[in-house]
Amino acid sequence: MRYLILVTSLLFSQFTYSMFGSDECINSNFEAEVENDGAIFGLIEYKFKIKKDRCLIHLDYQKLFPSQWTVDICREPIHLKNHQYFSSKVYLKEGYCMEQSKDAFCVKTRELSKIIDGEGLVFAEGERDTLKTSHGKIFCAHLLLQKHLVEGKIFAINAPNNPKLFRSEENNGGSLATPPSPVQKSQIQKEEQPVSKPIDLVDRENLEQF
């Protein structure tokens, strides 16, 4: 029985330490792609390619019509750039985005959220908890966009006091325990704001497979 407990503890410790932390995610540079079938029986090319270069997160996406999204997580005022339908626009965050808000920035944030949730996190390959896989890289970008666009947090590369991405880091003095799943985080936010809930990039209660 003691041997079983020891083996279980070692396996759990190894799993815990393998998870990327906030600083690793913030300071990393990476590219990740998702492969999927194109629209109209594959006649239209499918593309989901996300790139993080220091502070810049860029998403190149095409399922039916091409679109490009760029967010600088270290810059104020908070904004996102979108090239879509042969035009480029910049959307500024002017206030707190509530669910179903018709503000242009909030609408585009929800659109970006839907793409990353439904196309990136669902179909990306590999484990979520390491930056060595496409799934982990997209999850990292997803968390950064959540903090920046929705919660209004500003990051800095190699800075000591960046906002934490995981609640467990805040509760453990910066050390990482198991990060909350998108479903758990959604449930926490519902408890904190029972009347009106802001846009949440992880508000997809059916995506337990992440």
Q: Does 206 map to a domain?
A: no
SS3 content of the chain, % helix, strand, coil (to 5): 40, 20, 45
Q: Does 40 map to a domain?
A: yes
* Local confidence pLDDT in tens for the 210 residues of the chain: 555 444 444 444 444 446 899 999 999 999 999 988 765 666 778 899 999 999 999 999 998 889 999 999 999 999 999 999 889 999 999 998 888 889 999 999 999 999 999 999 999 999 999 999 999 999 999 999 999 999 999 999 999 999 999 988 876 655 554 444 544 444 434 444 444 444 444 443 444 444
Q: At CA 17, angle to CA 138 and CA 156, rounded to 5?
A: 50
Q: Does 100 map to a domain?
A: yes
Q: How many residues does the chain have?
A: 210
Q: Does 58 map to a domain?
A: yes
Q: Residue 59 belongs to what domain range? A: 20-192
Q: Does 165 map to a domain?
A: yes
Complete DSSP assignment for 51-84: EEETTEEEEEEESSSEEEEEEETT-SS-EEEEEE
When divided into structural domains, the chain yields a total of: 1
The two tokens of residue 9 are 């503890």
- Sheet of strand 79-84: strand arrangement: 30-33, 47-53, 56-62, 66-72, 79-84, 87-92
The two tokens of residue 204 are 């997809």
Q: Does 10 map to a domain?
A: no
Q: Does 207 map to a domain?
A: no
Q: Does 85 map to a domain?
A: yes
57: β partners: 52, 71
Q: What integer pLDDT is reported at residue 40 of this predicted model?
A: 61
